Structure 1
Amino acid sequence: MDAAVDVRAVARWFGGRPRLFGAPAPTARAVDGVSFRAPRGSVFAIVGESGSGKSTLARLLVGLLPPSAGEVRVDGQALADLDAAGLRRLRRRIQLVLQDPRASLDPRMTVRQTLTEALVVHGLRPDREAREARVAEAVGLVGLSAAHLARYPHELSGGQRQRAAIARAIICEPDILVLDEPVSALDVSVQAQIINLLMDLKERLALTFVIITHDLALVEHMADAVGVMYLGRFVEQGPVAEVCGAPRHPYTQSLMAASGHGPAGTREPAPVLEGSIPSPLAIPSGCPFHTRCPAARLVAAREPALAVATPDGRLPRRCVEDIPAPRPAPGGSSVASCHFADEPAAHRSPPSP
């Protein structure tokens, strides 16, 4: 199946510029070598904690940021090969829906003005009557009425504002929507309405979704495939049924435990994550997850001869020194970047003395 979005080893680094005096400024590796493909009509989810690089990746997908390395291809066209006019034409086909509609909608414009502006910017429906008809069609598709067209964002509820933001995204008839935390700013009851709306629009308009989220329940409900992101990299990737049903990376297992799921085939839940994600200005050596990894601590406790002292306690030497290569699942299509991905015993507590 053809890929609507094809991301190839894309990276985005910030900083690193020379200073007038002293060493260059440190480099923040916000996205560092991410690859994935989203076939037409599919839903690809990117999940991880705040600070993992998800939103930066979203902006790379729509061309708001240029990559420092690698490339993003939309329908086979590399974004880096496009000039300003070509990039504007492409943006009509790949639209971004942001997390907070209060920040993404202009408070000085009514819903009608916001939707009309999108048509004008992209040179669509030059006739006024045709524009009005398209605006009315778009608000109808997202469940708003004609009465909402004259309202300003502050006169709408949170769910109505997000519906208006989605209407602005689909009014230009895109092929792909990049949804950056589309429901996290909404009440739980409204979240379900927006999720159902998005899935309905996907089927009616034949859309491809790339969803940025930290909500694994949303991933299991909406997505076909998922990439689990940590410090700018995918630590696990594959079909949702495999990654969420039987997670192999300790980070994915901890995220699942935080959402009330334990790893498949065990009675005890995975340890819940402790500590905070390190700064992208100082990514740990070896496996970037080793400073917080519960599996690494269990292995070090069971095999102390293979451990070394670190500021985070005694940890396996290979975790501290060696970057793990992606390991395909036996007989499956998922991959996990963990030294213990194929060692289930590494994730169980050591026997009591």
Structure 2
Amino acid sequence: MSAALRIDQPSSDEAVSVSNVSRHFVGRRPLFGGGSAPVARAVDGVSFRAPRGSCFAIVGESGSGKSSLARLLVGLLQPTSGEVRVDGAAVAGLDGAALRGLRRKIQLVLQDPRASLDPRMTVFDTLEEALQVHGLHPGRDARQARVADVMALVGLNAAHLDRYPHELSGGQRQRAAIARAIICEPEILVLDEPVSALDVSVQAQIINLLMELKQSLSLTFIIITHDLGLVEHMADSVGVMYLGRFVEQGVVEDVCGAPRHPYTQSLMAASSHHGAEAGAVLEGSIPSPLAVPTGCSFHTRCPAARVLAARAPAAAVDTPHGRLPRRCVQDQPSPMPAPGGASIATCHFADALPAQPAPRSA
């Protein structure tokens, strides 16, 4: 069984361990009419493990909870329930020196470097500040030498050190953001949509840079993305997220090569280099986490559910979203392992529906 699926067996070889983690945001109670305060279930019972040196991808649409999960991993959010462990240490409750040590070990690279870099600081000041915060390479000369080494690693030179973010191109800004993340010698990088804000011509350069750094620095990657092509290129294992939960999870070759969940199949169909043969393209938008549908949370948009309802009308019910299987509407599905245990799909009919082969680009 894949290491990514051993969700109940912690191991010292795991860089990141996430066990049944949830993060709920409670809104304000209605001013009139009473009632309880609304609860947004941004992350709802997610588990996965990432061995050292691996790349685990989290993929899904905007609003699925990917970025909230990324912030839970680095300690910017605290879980409502469950546990996040980095290098065997629980993240929740850390403060002071312990939290600073964690943040040196696991670093976050955000989607838009224009927003993540301080516009009032030069590239050198940004990188030096990280060393000063963590007390590394004391002395101006030592810090300058470390900054120069990291600049060379990310493909920038001394001419960029005195520039402000607005004086850099998009690719150069993201290289500077990556330099800031690796300058303190972390073990894990959480990459939240690291190339989606860049021009297509620059994306391949940054992806290749990240893969080179992963190899040369022995890094573990957790990558947050909606790009299935990027997942296939970079990741070892993947979790497909919908409304705060993983609906399919396993090794990339199985999840992307023969997806079993209708949502994964639809994402593959929407991917520009797979085509419609991978499954039906989704219609509509993802529901609000304030009002997660009953039963299977995907039933309001599931193309496979409509086909199944037509095949077995006696077991179907009418809903505002069409005629759907009663089981999909009323019962929350349990994870179903694939034969051989290389992936799991949270779908009532995962074994009844044929896995859709996803053609790969030439």
Q: TM-score range by the shorter chain?
A: over 0.9
Q: Secondary structure at the match of 2:75?
A: coil
Q: Tell me what 1:67 maps to.
A: 79
Q: Tell me what 2:250 maps to.
A: 238
Q: Tell me what 1:248 maps to.
A: 260
Q: Tell me what 2:15 maps to.
A: 4
State whether structure 2 residue 347 is matched by structure 1 residue 338. yes
State whether structure 2 residue 204 is matched by structure 1 residue 189. no
Query: What is the Cα deviation at residue 345 of structure 1?
Result: 5.3
Q: Tell me what 1:164 maps to.
A: 176
State whether structure 2 residue 136 is matched by structure 1 residue 124. yes
Counterpart Cα distance in 2 of 1:346 and 1:199: 30
Contact 1:262/1:270 (<8 A) preserved:
no
- Tell me which moved more, 85-94 or 141-150: 85-94
Q: Secondary structure at the match of 2:253?
A: helix
Counterpart Cα distance in 2 of 1:84 and 1:129: 28
Counterpart Cα distance in 2 of 1:152 and 1:298: 55
Query: What is the Cα deviation at residue 17 of structure 1?
Result: 5.4
Query: What is the Cα deviation at residue 39 of structure 1?
Result: 0.2
Query: What is the Cα deviation at residue 122 of structure 1?
Result: 1.1
Counterpart Cα distance in 1 of 2:30 and 2:233: 48
- Tell me which moved more, 8-17 or 147-156: 8-17
Return the letter of the residue paired with 1:37: R
Return the letter of the residue paired with 1:160: Q
Counterpart Cα distance in 1 of 2:232 and 2:127: 32
Cα separation, partners in 2 of 1:345 and 1:147, compared to 1, 3 Å: closer
Return the letter of the residue paired with 1:289: F
Q: Tell me what 2:25 maps to.
A: 14
Q: Deviations over 1:14-55 (max 9, x none)?
A: 015556662232000000000000000000000000000000
Counterpart Cα distance in 2 of 1:325 and 1:283: 17
Q: Which runs of 5+ in 1 are unaligned?
A: 348-353
Contact 1:295/1:346 (<8 A) preserved:
no
Query: What is the Cα deviation at residue 293 of structure 1?
Result: 0.1
**Where do residues 291-310 of structure 1 align in structure 2 (5 Å cutoff)?**
291-310=300-319
Q: Secondary structure at the match of 1:150?
A: coil
Q: Deviations over 1:65-97 (max 9, x none)?
A: 000000100010001242332111110010000
State whether structure 2 residue 33 is matched by structure 1 residue 43. no
- Tell me which moved more, 1-10 or 145-154: 1-10
Q: Secondary structure at the match of 1:163?
A: helix
Query: What is the Cα deviation at residue 331 of structure 1?
Result: 1.5
State whether structure 2 residue 330 is matched by structure 1 residue 321. yes
Q: Deviations over 1:184-217 (max 9, x none)?
A: 0001110000000000000110000000000000
Q: Secondary structure at the match of 1:179?
A: strand
Percent identical pairs in the alignment equals 78
- Tell me which moved more, 72-81 or 208-217: 72-81
Q: Tell me what 1:154 maps to.
A: 166
Counterpart Cα distance in 2 of 1:147 and 1:83: 38
Contact 2:109/2:177 (<8 A) preserved:
yes
Return the letter of the residue paired with 2:212: D
Counterpart Cα distance in 1 of 2:166 and 2:224: 26
Q: Deviations over 1:150-169 (max 9, x none)?
A: 00000000000000000000
Q: Aligned residue pairs: how many?
A: 344
Q: Secondary structure at the match of 2:288?
A: coil
State whether structure 2 residue 107 is matched by structure 1 residue 104. no
Q: Tell me what 2:6 maps to.
A: none
Contact 1:178/1:210 (<8 A) preserved:
yes
Contact 1:16/1:24 (<8 A) preserved:
no
TM-score, normalising length: structure 2:
0.92
Counterpart Cα distance in 1 of 2:31 and 2:348: 42
Return the letter of the residue paired with 1:287: C
Q: Secondary structure at the match of 2:151?
A: helix
RMSD between superposed Cα atoms in Å? 1.6
Q: Secondary structure at the match of 1:327?
A: strand
Counterpart Cα distance in 2 of 1:134 and 1:247: 45
Contact 2:258/2:355 (<8 A) preserved:
no
Q: Tell me what 1:212 maps to.
A: 224
Counterpart Cα distance in 1 of 2:262 and 2:273: 13
Q: Secondary structure at the match of 2:92?
A: helix
Counterpart Cα distance in 1 of 2:354 and 2:273: 19
Q: Tell me what 2:359 maps to.
A: none
Contact 1:299/1:346 (<8 A) preserved:
no
Counterpart Cα distance in 2 of 1:346 and 1:61: 32
Counterpart Cα distance in 2 of 1:346 and 1:119: 49
Cα separation, partners in 2 of 1:126 and 1:225, compared to 1, 3 Å: same
Counterpart Cα distance in 2 of 1:108 and 1:36: 38
Cα separation, partners in 2 of 1:244 and 1:294, compared to 1, 3 Å: same
